[in-house]
Amino acid sequence: MQTKPLLSVIINTTGTKLDSLRKLLQSLAEQSFHNFEVIIACETNKDAIHALCREYEFRCKVIQTGFWNRCRTANVAVKIAGGIYVALLEDDLVLSKSWLENMVKTLMKLSDSSIACVYSSVVNVLGSESLAYAVHRKLLKKLISYVNMLRIHSSIRRKCINVFSLAFICRKDVLFKAGLFDPVPEEPIVGEDHDLSIRINKLGYRIVTVKDATAYHYSRHYSQRINFIVKREFSLWEKLTANEVYMFAKHIDIFGVAILMHVSFKILFEPLNIVFRIKLKPYELLKVFLCTLKGAITGLIRGILVSSR
């Protein structure tokens, strides 16, 4: 009879990026830690992913939900996970060879029962997407840094709340106590990892970083998001904006006025940020502004309503 693994590694993927998935699976095969199972939670392409899994010796399950919703799909995977600990990974990561070992070892060695999750540094292999890195004038760099202080991320740092991206390991029981990922928003979804980690903090648990573990990220998320505007899919940009603001506005009880500052940033400066990256005609810029405005206000209202329940 096969014993249960200590760790379940969940890879959340649409199933369309097999080359990226292969690189991640290869990095898992090269890990110095071996007591784990892999669960690939996909929306499509199950047979091809099964074939890919058979190339490796670790235990591998593939579930295809067809939800086309990363939160609901990840939740299904967590529910069937056999491990005491659960790692959640994006499909465009490559892990350092001792990533699992150092992460699990740190989590198991910590005697403080309030520590529920660990996360690692993530290196953006393709470079930073911050506008501050793209400009060369010192005055402009300084101005951008001040404007960025309006974003909710500044308040998160000031309050010393640790949040993770999708390269972390948590106790499975704590993920359930926190309610897993929010299943309500429809794609395009952003900020679901921050929302979950804030809810874990609210329960009184702590999230710590592991300095000896590194994940390498091979995508440009912001470029993918503004691709909606490149394709003139303004309604999807509006929905993306609404979902991002919603994920933070749910926590207005701890962030207060910082939520309104973040909304102001989205409405006033996000369109300008896009203009620096994409050539837009005046009427297209107006469309971006109006969609950003509507999305931000919609997300704010939805989040506040959820927080008041």
Contact 131, 274 (CB under 8 A): no
Contact 61, 80 (CB under 8 A): yes
Instruction: In whole angstroms, give the CA distance from residue 53 to residue 60.
Output: 6
5 falls within a domain: yes
pLDDT in tens, the chain (309 residues): 457 889 999 999 999 999 999 999 999 999 999 999 999 999 999 999 999 999 998 999 999 999 999 999 999 999 999 999 999 999 999 999 999 999 999 998 876 789 999 999 999 998 877 766 666 677 777 887 888 899 999 999 999 999 998 899 999 999 999 999 999 999 999 999 999 999 999 999 999 999 999 999 998 888 999 999 999 999 999 999 999 999 999 999 999 999 999 999 999 999 999 998 999 999 999 999 999 999 999 999 999 999 998
- What integer pLDDT is reported at residue 144 of this predicted model? 79
109 falls within a domain: yes
Burial (0-12, 13-18, 19+ Cβ within 10 Å), 276: exposed
Give the residue from 267, 190, 268, 282 showing the smallest Cα distance to 236: 190
69 falls within a domain: yes
Query: Residue 117 is encoded by which pair of tokens?
Result: 């999750």
- The domain total for the chain is 1
210 falls within a domain: yes
Neighbouring C-beta atoms of residue 150, cutoff 10 Å: 19
265 falls within a domain: no
Instruction: In whole angstroms, give the CA distance from residue 210 to residue 200.
Output: 18
- What integer pLDDT is reported at residue 4 of this predicted model? 81
Instruction: In whole angstroms, give the CA distance from residue 263 to residue 152.
Output: 9
- What integer pLDDT is reported at residue 1 of this predicted model? 44
231 falls within a domain: no
- What integer pLDDT is reported at residue 128 of this predicted model? 77
pTM recorded for the entire structure: 0.94
Query: Residue 267 is encoded by which pair of tokens?
Result: 């409405």
User: Domain of 105?
Assistant: 1-128+161-219
AA letter at 200:
I
Burial (0-12, 13-18, 19+ Cβ within 10 Å), 179: middle
- What integer pLDDT is reported at residue 135 of this predicted model? 67
Instruction: In whole angstroms, give the CA distance from residue 73 to residue 217.
Output: 21
- What integer pLDDT is reported at residue 136 of this predicted model? 63
262 falls within a domain: no
As a dihedral over the C-alpha atoms of residue 63, residue 64, residue 67, residue 70, rounded to 10 degrees, the angle is 50
Q: What is the CATH number of the domain that holds 177?
A: 3.90.550.10
33 falls within a domain: yes
Buried b / exposed e over 4-30, threshold 16 CB at 10 Å, is ebbbbbbbbbebebbebbebbbebbee
